[in-house]
Amino acid sequence: MKNKIIISIVFFMCIISGILSALGDGEFFVGCKFDCGVAQYFALAVFVISLSLAARERENNLFGVNNIYKLTRLKSRKKALLIEILRLTLWDTAATAVWCTAIYITERLNKNAIDTDKYLLFCVFSFLIINLFMLSQMIAEIIFSSKMFFAVSNIVYFALLAAGDKLFELSQYRGADNIYLRLNRADILNYTSISRLDILFDNFIYPLLTVAAITVLIILFAFSQIKKCDIITRSKI
């Protein structure tokens, strides 16, 4: 019952966030610009925090204290970790799809023109970045046995998003290739904005490979550490 309530609330918040995103800026479907406003940040906050809470509060988490018996039945922490990664990825896929669909429908109802290619790229990069942060949060909570990573994950997410504005502003006072521009290229939250990617990169291959590589490294780290963490005596996630 708790899972159904959480799912219903999160999907509702995804829809509301998508509508706010589209209403906040007629071109938001291509991502936050460097001069994005309060409406965009608020809409993203609603979406990301809802997903983070849902990921942490799931009743079927195999590494939760109440599900130790399920973990014991599997007889393999690595298998359990793989199941949790797949579950979270499917959950992020569904939530991002609902969010992006809400943005698309709202834009169409407002009769705004939509660049299909940019919209699809926005959906892909939004999912990849969201999934990366959700996986990082879940894995950190399992490996390090701490609830603080919910807050850390969200703070880092919005700090990196906001940093893009300031770094881009500073880069305008320098040449085409300067330290601020390089830092902005390293800020993966810029990848959720197609308008930012157009400015920072010649094509989308590099940012796509970057996100994929970071995700793979985090997963490999989790598999290398999962046998070392204390599942029984740790505090509840």
What per-residue confidence (pLDDT) applies to 216? 95
pLDDT band per the 50, 70, 90 thresholds, residue 37: low
- Residue, of 204 and 178, whose pLDDT is higher: 204
**pTM beyond 0.75, yes or no:** yes
Higher pLDDT, 170 or 89: 89
pLDDT for position 127: 93
CB 132 within 8 A of CB 218: yes
> Which residue type, as a one-letter code, is found at position 170?
L
State whether residue 220 is helix, strand or coil: helix
Position 233 scores a pLDDT of 52
At 182, list the tokens.
């390089």
Per-residue pLDDT at 118 exceeds 90? no
For the chain, the domains span 2-225
Q: Token pair for residue 180? A: 């601020």
Q: Which amino acid is at 155?
A: I
- pLDDT exceeds 80 at position 18: yes
The count of other CB atoms within 10 Å of the CB of residue 52 is 22
Please tell me the predicted confidence (pLDDT) of residue 24: 59
Contact 137, 150 (CB under 8 A): yes
148 or 37: whose pLDDT is higher?
148
pLDDT at 4 over 50: yes
> Within 13 Å of residue 67, how many CA atoms lie on the same side as its CB?
15
